[in-house]
Amino acid sequence: MDAHATTFGVPSRKMAMWVFIASECMFFGSLIATYLSYEGKSLVGPTPREILNIPLTSVSTFVLLMSSLAMVLALEAVQTGNRRGARMWLGAVVVLGGLFLAGQVYEFREFYHEGLTLQQNLFGATFFVLTGFHGAHVTVGVIWMVTLLVMSLRGQLGPERSLDVEVAGLYWHFVDVVWIVIFTVVYLIQ
């Protein structure tokens, strides 16, 4: 009911996304807290130090950061009615998001072959559940972006629908920020 006047003058959908993000903070906060509280409590290896590939993950972190930049440009393009720009930048978000996911799939496979599974130890369980749920969020985001891209290709994403992109962008940036925290906590500070 965005058409109706709202008390704060903020579109309700945008406010809803902010409210939802607050909730998501608690979700990832609980996962990260658990990861930290179980850090070093595994009875058997592999340990983070043995297995985490920081260079590779730094690249995929950079990829995800760039996708946020593309998201900003996509929103601007939609708002200004720049259809070509919208398609290009939405496409870039999809590709970069997809690349990040591909990196995660590669990483998970590598870890699996090196003996780190969900069941292997507490590190495996907390690591895969934390990064896996983040990956699931990225996946939802990529599907959302593909949807917007298809809408744009069909000419359904004019400036009047820029709120759709803005809300999706909020979600995307949030997922990105969460990754920065995870990258810092899991990979950098061991």
Nearer to other proteins, 69 or 181 (CB): 181
Q: How far is the CB of 132 from other proteins (least distance, A)?
A: 10
3-class state of residue 34 by DSSP: helix
3-class state of residue 43 by DSSP: coil
Residue 81 near other proteins by CB under 8 A: no
Nearer to other proteins, 24 or 76 (CB): 24
Nearer to other proteins, 58 or 156 (CB): 156
Q: For other proteins, how many residues bind (rule: CB under 8 A)?
A: 36
* DSSP states of 64-105: HHHHHHHHHHHHHHHHTT-HHHHHHHHHHHHHHHHHHHHHHH
3-class state of residue 38 by DSSP: coil
Q: How far is the CB of 23 from other proteins (least distance, A)?
A: 4
Q: Buried b / exposed e across 81-99, counting CB within 10 Å, b at 16+?
A: ebbebbbbbbbbbbbbbbb
Place of tokens 């969900």: 118
Among 57, 60, 61, 121, binds other proteins (CB under 8 A): 121
Among 19, 36, 102, 105, binds other proteins (CB under 8 A): 19
Residue 150 near other proteins by CB under 8 A: no
Task: Please check whether residue 87 is in contact with residue 149, taking contact to mean a CB–CB distance below 8 angstroms.
Answer: yes
Q: How far is the CB of 137 from other proteins (least distance, A)?
A: 13
Task: Please check whether residue 172 is in contact with residue 67, taking contact to mean a CB–CB distance below 8 angstroms.
Answer: yes
Residue 66 near other proteins by CB under 8 A: no
Which residues sit at the interface with other proteins, rule CB under 8 A? Answer: 1, 4-8, 10, 12, 15-16, 19-20, 22-24, 26-27, 29-31, 34, 37-38, 41-43, 118-119, 121-122, 124-126, 129, 133, 147
